[in-house]
């Protein structure tokens, strides 16, 4: 009887352990329960025991399931290594590489084409973006590129879309583009275009760039290689140092 009792005790302990494992709440489930409004892409262990890396869109933060709290800010290791920044850069590169794989979906025949050089440059830009203008100045006068320009007017630039309309309505679109990127349209002393064909073209540009996953400008694809921002040294390197 004593042996039977001991056996039953052992069986009950095993059952309790089994049930606790079977019904354990995962860090992702805990996060969802405590912060249901946060749209999460992934929850994985971080380099810090008990702390989990959470990716939400293009943001990274951390979650401590035991304390049921979110921890913001970067993880910086001894010696100054910023693990969070490294992960963000890796995620951004992965995102850009995925976009590069889908370039074939862009309707290049609907882009503003400038030049006929050997290097193919797809440019996603905004005439009121200072970094876009800096990049445009770099490309000015180069004969080694063929640019396909798509316009992506961010909401924060209220005058961007009227300028884009002016460019796409102009008889000499390349010249109008250069004027806009040089700031010559900033006084807004130009006739706003109301052409229905331009309405359709702007819609095509917006839909194509959003489908590609564009969230900011400028963005370039130099012979298929993605470059985010006005990274002139990298752009020049990908162009082979020509003029």
As a whole number of angstroms, the distance between CA 96 and CA 119 comes to 19
3-class secondary-structure state, position 90: helix
Q: Could you tell me how far CA 225 lies from the centroid of its own chain? A: 15
**Superfamily grouping for domain 27-91:** Disulphide bond isomerase, DsbC/G, N-terminal (3.10.450.70)
CB within 8 Å of 59: residues ≥ 6 apart = none
As a whole number of angstroms, the distance between CA 20 and CA 36 comes to 24
CATH 3.40.30.10 fits 105-238, yes or no: yes
Q: What is the pLDDT of residues 199-211, one digit of tens each?
A: 999 999 999 999 8
The segments of the chain whose pLDDT lies below 70 read 1-23, 241-243
Domain boundaries, the chain: 27-91, 105-238
pLDDT of residue 20: 40
pLDDT of residue 9: 34
Any bridge partners for residue 120, and if so which? 146
Count other C-beta atoms under 10 Å from residue 149's C-beta.
20
């Amino acid at each position: 009887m004593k042996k039977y009792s001991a056996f039953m005790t052992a069986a009950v302990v095993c059952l309790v352990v089994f049930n606790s494992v079977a019904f354990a709440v995962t860090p992702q489930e805990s996060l969802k329960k405590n912060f249901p409004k946060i749209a999460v892409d992934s929850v994985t262990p971080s380099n810090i025991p008990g702390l989990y890396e959470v990716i939400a869109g293009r943001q990274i933060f951390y979650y401590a399931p035991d304390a049921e709290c979110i921890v913001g800010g970067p993880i910086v290791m001894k010696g100054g290594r910023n693990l969070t920044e490294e992960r963000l850069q890796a995620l951004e590169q992965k995102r850009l590489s995925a976009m590069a794989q889908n370039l074939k979906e862009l309707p290049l025949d609907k882009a503003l084409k400038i030049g006929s050089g050997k290097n193919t440059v797809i440019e996603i830009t905004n005439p009121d973006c200072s970094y876009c203008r800096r990049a445009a100045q770099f490309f000015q006068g180069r004969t080694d590129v063929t640019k396909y320009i798509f316009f992506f007017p961010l909401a924060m630039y209220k005058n961007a879309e009227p300028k884009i309309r002016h460019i796409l309505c102009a008889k000499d679109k390349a010249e109008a583009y250069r004027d806009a990127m040089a700031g010559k349209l900033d006084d807004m002393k130009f006739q706003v275009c109301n052409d229905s064909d331009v309405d359709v073209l702007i819609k095509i540009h917006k839909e194509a760039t959003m489908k590609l996953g564009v969230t900011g400008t400028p963005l370039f694809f130099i012979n298929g290689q993605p470059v985010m921002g006005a990274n002139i040294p990298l752009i020049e390197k990908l162009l082979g140092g020509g003029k």
